[in-house]
């Protein structure tokens, strides 16, 4: 059994109302609370590939098609990180991140892009994006970035194995 500390809570009126909970992960099954990742819908096999990384760890994958769905899901569930595809045909990803940042400035975002030019990287930096990953996505690189994010933000090694 793996035991991790995970900070829970959200920023409320500028103050971080987080608390820590100790939770156990045994054989990929989370026993203390839900870990939720919200990703953008894609026309390729992206959600299925993500589920292969998340399911063994007991992590829930939620999928949204546009900024409205992202915000509605974030309002209704505790989301630990978002993964957005800048090449998505259904929504403007940078606009979605800006909208998320208005109400949830501390929510970590990972951005996927087939062309990560200087302009995009500069905008990602301004929007405090945790990581920009090139496409096609190497799932090992994504898992490493998720591991870094969860260790840094939540003191959790759920993605280490």
List alpha helices for 30-138, DSSP H: 46-54, 67-76, 93-103, 118-126
User: Residues 6 or more apart from 85 whose CB is under 8 A from it?
Assistant: 39, 40, 42, 46, 93, 112, 113, 135
| Residue 161 placed within a domain | no
Q: Looking at the domain assignment, is residue 60 inside a domain? A: yes
The reported pLDDT for the residue numbered 90 is 59
**Inter-residue contact 41 to 90 (CB < 8 Å):** yes
- pTM of structure: 0.77
Strand partners for 111:
84, 132
Say if 80 falls within a structural domain.
Answer: yes
- Cα distance between residue 97 and residue 86, in whole Å: 10
* Burial letters 115-141, b for 16+ CB under 10 A, else e: ebeeebeebbeeeebbbbbebebeeee
pLDDT score for 59: 95
Residue 88 included in any domain: yes
Residue 5 located in a structural domain: no
Run of H or E including 151:
helix 139-154
Give the model's pLDDT for residue 20.
36
Indicate which CATH number applies to the domain containing 129: 3.40.50.2300
**How many domains is the chain partitioned into structurally?**
1
Which pLDDT value is given to residue 13? 34
pLDDT value of position 75: 94
82: β partners = 38, 109
Residue 40 lies in domain? 34-154
Q: For the chain, which residues score pLDDT lower than 50?
A: 1-31
Question: Does residue 94 lie in a domain region?
Answer: yes
């Amino acid at each position: 059994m793996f035991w991790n500390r995970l900070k829970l809570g959200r920023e409320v009126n500028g103050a971080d109302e987080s608390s820590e909970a100790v939770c156990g992960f045994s054989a990929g099954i989370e026993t203390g609370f839900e870990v939720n990742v919200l990703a953008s819908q894609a026309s390729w096999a992206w959600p299925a590939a993500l589920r292969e990384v998340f399911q063994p760890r007991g992590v829930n994958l939620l999928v949204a098609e546009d900024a409205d769905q992202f915000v509605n899901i974030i309002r209704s569930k505790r989301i630990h990180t978002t993964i957005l595809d800048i090449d998505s045909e259904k929504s403007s990803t940078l606009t979605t991140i800006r909208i998320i940042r208005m109400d949830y400035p501390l929510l970590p975002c990972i951005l996927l892009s087939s062309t990560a030019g200087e302009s995009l990287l500069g905008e990602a930096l301004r929007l405090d994006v945790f990581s920009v990953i090139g496409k096609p996505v190497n799932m090992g690189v994504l898992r490493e970035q998720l591991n870094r994010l969860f260790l840094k933000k939540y003191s959790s090694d759920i993605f280490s194995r």
